């Protein structure tokens, strides 16, 4: 169930709007045009791209687009739903035995949940189930960390290339132009500063925040998977179903838990 | 028992007063007005907000206000009181049995203490109690870390947007204005520097210190919860009540302990 | 099976092209020549080299070239192939006994796989095999980390030496030249800035990205070796061959796994 | 046995002398007076104080003075003396039994040693003694880390407030003064730079080094406490007294050990 | 067997040569003299020294010279030799018993190896030997880390004091001199920049690289000690001598191992 994470494009739009507003409010339309300098953009983008080519293997670089797209998607993994599923399954397993869960498998979308329950039904020992699923989590984490590192590195390299571009501009300006036309010193200096501006904007509005959002998504996904492992293990243990429920409930977000606790109070009264 | 943590607003007030004092003492009232530039404020605040939108999911961003408010509140969790409670409870449990604690539950406010004691009364095995309560602590820590990270990131992004704003100002100044009116170079440069000033102030007076205070509060809360776990486990073990007392006393702050030790000396003499 | 990792030289070429393009597009050919200043290059390279001599022992420094060359090579370790090998071997071992694997050894190139299987055939206890192979992995990791640290340090020192060179240039310019010939201030300042430019370029296009690529290669190699250990241990355990297969499959990259799962669906239907 | 750690005030004096020497050697007495600007000092100190108020709870801030004072005190914990005490005690315990140690308790100053020996005499199980004393060490470490963090944060905030003050000065100078009296540009710029100077000096001569000295003292204290735990545990184990001695001797500083080894050689000959 | 690590002084010489070459190539001999400014050198060195006095206890500071000297010495610990020794000893122990090793002790220089073998001969249990020797390693590591931290801190403080010196120079220049003699602005600015230059050079050519070399030496020494522990433990276990050999061989550097493997191939053929 992939949905668009509207906040990512909206945030980028807000950031760009602020810059455009700042430029036009004190520089007008002509000021705005002064900020579009294709060679400067090319130096920063091209430099960052070149550095990324040196830093990462081809197989990983090819994934950069696909990884970045995930910052614009929201996977909507609902912890409460999963907790509910396991509470339901553990009750059924207690009443009708573990094998009865086979019929429920079709209604489960998540392949990780499915895999875990299948292992439980197959009677694989708990430590082995945990080991196997933890290995899968570790592999997912490693894959995500590697993907995210491209954006983190790009966030480091963009300001550096901005500075390299500005140094190029400054050296040229001081070396060649200021001798003949001192009046051009201002505009030349402005162009030199543009690459620093692009580098800072790229790093602070794109690369770094996208890496942060990807990190948050990964953390959430891993957390959900940990909950699932606890659920599967508890499911198989069977008898301790109340304990499983208590343990999984720990993971539900605060607000929901408060609501639930209130409801419990009402029920108790 | 939530009280206001007066120190947070007082600290912010002191910081702002210092800046205002610095401005007025050498620039007078006209100097003060020079520091209020709405577009500059908008660029920094809007830019930081945009970047936060890209960096965090909606669910988390919505909590930012609520999380920040906690830096202005003081929860007053008294470690000594909790140690006292457990010493009292462990004596009662030793005399009258664990079940006798049920009557005491009503007088306990803290839901974490309550939960722990209930588990102990229920006869849940010690390792399971520890596992369950540790899982709750881990969940609390994760939630707080995520909340705090918004302020930490804002503290990183604010100076960056201050610099972006200053670059915009510098480029415009060099490109357009200096050509015609060299006398306006000073004031234009001043306006360009304002965003750097706002970014530095926001980061160093708001975002970073608030994140620090939140971190301190979280650490204290987790520490109190760890003490509670030790208390609950010791309570259930029962016979080793003197050991529990000794262990919990370790956690009481230094001054109190010294006072207590003096009193013990007096008693012994 | 060493192949050339074309991406490393291509990335460096792209980075240099961007700089050259930036220089020539606004400075022309004479601008380009202004960027070649042998003394400046010597100061930065020589300074970095001197600092590396102080930082590392001779034995390690001698390896720097050999280590750096690895960033230009791609070793092509195929995880799927290894997983396949172990699935095949574990089936054979189950049918014909562990000793039957001796005949297969000749077809295996990887010395680490060979060593592991030999230990398994010899009947060395599983914990000992694991200990021995983990020790080998730790030694590899330590060796690689040490090699990579030379490039990481060089990436730190290059900008520092760029700044030292610029300070030398600035002091000389302010002290001696500006007094007599104010018109030479621009070109002298330009030359002073060149070392900062070289330092930034060396650090951000060579040393840092090469260290990043080496880190990625090391991580992949260690990961493959971990898979191999799991395979060897599983091979020896024999009976749990389906579990081994499941566990190793976890490590296969996502795309391949999806393909495989599709195929399985087809087979099941 | 608290003594004054003369090195701390001497170090601060040396640092200040260097600055005063630098100022007077090239600026004379009038130069010296130029560096005393009360508003600038107030902005930096007040700003840092305000930020610390936001960052830490009142209870902790009140301790800042007491914590800082510890950087000027030296506690003189002698590891060799403690090792000697334990070797002596372990011999006595082996000859006359653990209970005979009660008579020795009065001659021991250190409350941690006393507590440990009391627990050993009481016959508390070794794992429990270790657990209890480790908990005390953890509590000490946490308290110290919290105290030190105020100085570390102040060391971070001081340069930031120096920069904020300089930005205030620069904006005012550019905005108001340079228009009318260009000749005052120099002195105004100088005043603006003073806050950066104060911030850098405060951070690098006071806050950061004091935090470093506190860290060293904490580390040493924890190390001594670890030695004491080993001694207490070994004392109780009794029979392995030679092993205890060997183990504790490991912790004695190098020079002393060499001396001792020489003496042993002489004795053996 | 201490030898001089020629690379350290050679590296410092190369670094200084680069600076001198840079200065003389564009400033001539008079330029060179401009870089020697005793007050500037005093401010940076004295400031760093003062800060170190505040940061470290006297006992540690006194060792700074001795610690630094180690960066100029090379201890020549040969891993292969140690591996060879243990292979030889383990064969002898298997043939003639552990006690037969007593005769070999005299030929062993390394006190750590000696100590370990003595413990093995004495029949101390393996876990105890490991615990004792690991404690010694931990103590060595702690001692080295503490010694090295003085150079690391000096590497942090040197640029800070360089900046403090430059701020002093700038303030004085702007405040006093520029009013009367604008022509002296250049040279005065040059002198102000000299402290930044000294700070950068001290940090990047002395303190930081020396700390790096010390870290490498410590790491190698600890690694050798770990190998020795494995050897001693394996020696005592006796019967598994082939396994010990295999395990120790892991630690031998790559090139040697390849040579050895080739030789083995030849022997097998």
Could you read off the pLDDT of D110-161 as tens digits, one per residue? 888 888 888 888 888 888 888 889 988 988 898 899 999 999 999 999 999 9
Residues of chain E neighbouring D7 (CB-CB closer than 8 A): 53-54, 56-58, 61
Nearest to A246 by CA among A229, A234, A256: A234
* Distance from C-alpha of C51 to C-alpha of E205, rounded to nearest angstrom: 6
Tell me what ipTM this predicted complex has: 0.85
pLDDT-derived band at B246, boundaries 50, 70, 90? low
Distance of alpha carbon C147 from alpha carbon C23, whole angstroms: 35
Test the D interface: residue of B4, B10, B19, B230 with most D CBs within 10 Å: B19
- Nearest CB among C128, C139, C161 relative to E251 is that of C139
**Is D135 or B150 the better-scoring residue by pLDDT?**
B150
Pick the residue of C14, C226, C264 with the most A CBs within 10 A to test the interface with A by mutation: C14
Share of chain D above pLDDT 90, in %: 38
Residue numbers in B near A187 (CB within 8 A): 174-175, 179
B50 neighbourhood in chain A, CB within 8 Å: 11-18, 205
Give the nearest chain E residue to D25 (CA atoms).
E39
Can you list the residues of chain A whose pLDDT is less than 70?
A: 1-2, 76, 177-184, 238-269
Residues in chain B with CB shorter than 8 Å from the CB of A234 are none
Using CA atoms, how far apart are residues B161 and A201, in angstroms rounded to an integer?
8
> Do residues A256 and A98 make contact, with C-beta atoms less than 8 angstroms apart?
no
Nearest CB partner across the interface for B49, out of A14, A21, A74: A14
> Which of C175, C187, C199 is most worth mutating to test chain E (most E CB atoms within 10 A of its CB)?
C175
**Residue to substitute from E115, E125, E166, E171, interface D, most D β-carbons within 10 A:** E171
Helix, strand, or coil (residue C64): helix
d(CA E232, CA D49): 57
Are D31 and E172 an interchain contact pair (Cβ–Cβ within 8 Å)? yes
Interface partners of A (3+ CB pairs, < 8 Å)? Answer: B, C
Q: Is there a contact between E18 and C42 if contact means CB atoms under 8 Å apart?
A: yes
Question: Closest residue of D to E161, CA-based?
Answer: D204
* Neighboring chain C residues of A229 at a CB cutoff of 8 Å: none
Cβ atoms of D49 and D37 closer than 8 Å:
no
Q: What are the structure tokens assigned to B91, written together?
A: 């004596």
Give the dihedral sign, CA C239/C240/C246/C252. negative
Q: E156 vs B205, B243, E96, E136, CA distance in Å?
A: 25, 47, 57, 30
Inter-chain touch E11–C54, beta carbons under 8 Å: yes
Could you give the C-alpha distances from B30 to A16, D167, D172, D181, in angstroms and in order?
A: 32, 17, 10, 17
Look at residue D177 and tell me whether its pLDDT is greater than 70: no
Contact flag B15-D50 (C-beta cutoff 8 Å): yes
How far is the alpha carbon of B251 from chain D, nearest alpha carbon, in Å?
A: 6
Rounded CA gap, E174 and D188, in Å? 8
CB within 8 Å of C6: residues ≥ 6 apart? A58
Tokens of C88: 């095949």
What gap in Å lies between CA E151 and CA A144, rounded to an integer?
38
Contact, C90 vs C241, CB < 8 A?
yes
Q: Tokens in use for D151? A: 């100085």
Contact by Cβ (8 Å): D61, B6: no
- Cα-based distances in Å from E36 to B170, D87, E6, E46: 37, 58, 27, 16
- The two three-digit tokens of residue A235, written as one number: 């499911």
Report the residue of chain C nearest A60, measured CA to CA.
Answer: C216
Which residues in chain C touch residue A172, judged by CB atoms under 8 angstroms apart?
23, 26-27, 31, 34, 190
Which residues of D are less than 8 Å from B195 in CB distance? none
Q: What is the pTM (predicted TM-score) of this model? A: 0.88
pLDDT tens-digit profile, chain C (269 residues):
568 889 999 999 999 999 999 998 887 888 888 899 998 999 999 999 999 999 999 989 999 999 999 999 887 677 778 888 888 888 888 788 888 888 888 888 788 888 888 888 888 888 888 888 898 898 889 889 999 999 999 999 999 999 999 999 999 888 875 555 656 677 788 888 999 999 999 999 999 999 999 999 998 899 889 888 988 888 877 655 566 666 666 655 544 555 455 444 444 44
The confidence score (pLDDT) of residue C100 equals: 83
CB contact under 8 A, C223 and A160: no
Tokens describing residue B55:
């960096």
CA–CA separation, C249 and A136 (whole Å) = 9
User: Between vectors from CA D164 to CA D158 and to CA D169, what angle results, nearest 5°?
Assistant: 125
In angstroms, the CA E150 to CA E162 distance is 18
Of D22, D34, D74, which is closest to E165 when you measure between CB atoms? D22
> Are A196 and A168 within 8 A, CB to CB?
no
CB C130 within 8 A of CB C237: no
């Amino acid at each position: 169930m992939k949905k668009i994470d509207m906040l990512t494009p909206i945030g980028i739009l807000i950031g760009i709007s602020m810059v455009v507003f700042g430029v036009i409010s004190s520089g007008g339309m002509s000021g705005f045009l002064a900020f579009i300098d294709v060679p400067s953009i090319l130096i920063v983008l091209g430099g960052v791209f070149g550095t990324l080519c040196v830093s990462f293997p081809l197989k990983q670089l090819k994934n950069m687009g696909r990884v970045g797209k995930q910052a614009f998607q929201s996977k909507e993994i609902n912890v409460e739903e999963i907790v509910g599923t396991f509470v339901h399954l553990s009750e059924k397993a207690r009443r009708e035995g573990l094998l009865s869960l086979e019929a429920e498998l079709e209604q489960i979308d998540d392949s990780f949940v499915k895999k875990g329950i299948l292992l439980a039904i197959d009677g694989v020992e708990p430590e082995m189930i945990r080991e196997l699923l933890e290995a899968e989590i570790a592999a997912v984490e490693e894959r995500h960390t590697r993907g995210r590192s491209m954006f983190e590195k790009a966030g480091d390299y963009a300001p550096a290339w901005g500075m390299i571009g500005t140094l190029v501009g400054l050296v040229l300006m001081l070396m060649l132009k200021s001798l003949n036309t001192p009046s051009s010193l201002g505009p030349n200096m402005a162009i030199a500063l543009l690459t620093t501006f692009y580098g800072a904007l790229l790093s602070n509005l794109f690369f770094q925040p996208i890496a942060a959002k990807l990190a948050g998504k990964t953390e959430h996904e891993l957390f959900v998977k940990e909950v699932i492992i606890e659920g599967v293990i508890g499911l198989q243990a069977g008898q301790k179903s109340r304990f499983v429920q208590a343990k999984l409930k720990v993971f539900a977000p605060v607000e929901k838990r408060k609501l639930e606790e209130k409801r419990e109070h009402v029920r108790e009264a």
